[in-house]
Structure 1
């Protein structure tokens, strides 16, 4: 499947400082990783980000869904997800960032499927479990003993497995197979140029019917609905953060007819593009054209 030639969406992207020269991986406090970690404007990254919050207050907004900030909260953000902080007090905790190529194995099954909830709230022994693994990662990262890169990869793998186990045990979080994960990641990358369920099924090596069964079992929805939701999310990002007209956004999303785009968006989002733009900006006081 060819990568989209469409220019990147005009949302804020961050050049990440990577202490100690180890790339593509870093761990530290919010202050150590950089001020962008507390940014109050919508932005997104081209790497994975795990946030472990131990203090603070306010709201963390991920793809326009608000989550109250509470201690012992873990967020796993995928590349391309838009997030920002609103009405926040001092946010305390750890930030872990890494690129997909840093993982020991293919991430399918280890990371939440795109479109799922990014949040996991820890309770009881779960707090010590996750905090202990992060302590181990932080120690290896700072001491840099021989073989530390391999140790970091191993500890990261353990952390992701434990987070996935905890997510699967949570009644509101569905587990996803490797195939479902690959499908949803492909959709997030290529939805502007490919919207055929059959094409995605072929790319992940299954029939459209089998892909439908897997997605329905893991996510409670259909592949077509995942594709439409991803397209609607791209539209929301453009509406919230650019001054493109509705017709220009329709064109950017490869809709030939702006009126059809309007009907599509209202069906998916429950409101018109213009009303969404006005309401989301008023709700979050989103600054324009950063």
Structure 2
């Protein structure tokens, strides 16, 4: 899945255009086209803090296999927990705050040649090349198992100074982005599945409310019926309905009380009993707390408004 990101910004400093962090950005082109090293090789030189910078024509792919930290990409803060992939396209302003035990490979490559090759071989990869992202990697997935062999193959090619080195390196990088795309699709599918599951759960909760709100049951009973914890139900209600579980139950009771008061001839005591209140006075206090009116006041006001229409 994609990691949750926030828009909290690190302290803003001057942002430099560099080739590799800590080196001059004056080179007109990336000489080797594909460069690979371990994350600690460079970050350890700067006490694991990489200030905001960007690469004018270079894309980076980091595979954090150990440690973690935070990434700041285009003013978005990402939490890093291994294993995860980080894609930083050209001209994306980024920085890192790594834990001292961080490890994993990082690839820096010329983006234009990669785009050209991808446009011919797999145009659908271009969106993944252009989008900054941090992706959680499931170590047990077949896509994850394909990652490290590709990084290792790219490393071997980077050390071979013979004909075809650049073509092989770029081709392997395209193959790596195939895995990035597949992991991204799994993350999207998982997110859609989670949204679908949450939608089903909230509909079930609403159905339970309609059937049982008169029983005045504790919210734990609703969670038990849904097969989730009360904490999970509370988070679900807050995320989807914008209120706590208890507030959702109370809102349903108030809605029914208002309907009964306006459209039925039941006495206040009878309405209270219908809604599961044993004490009419307690029902009156409950109703006023949530509407600002006593039941009799609300009934008179609502019926006057209906008569005036």
**TM-score between the two structures when normalised by the length of structure 2:** 0.46
Q: Report which of the two has the higher share of helix.
A: 2
The higher-RCO structure (CA 8 Å, 6+ apart) is 1
**TM-score between the two structures when normalised by the length of structure 1:** 0.48
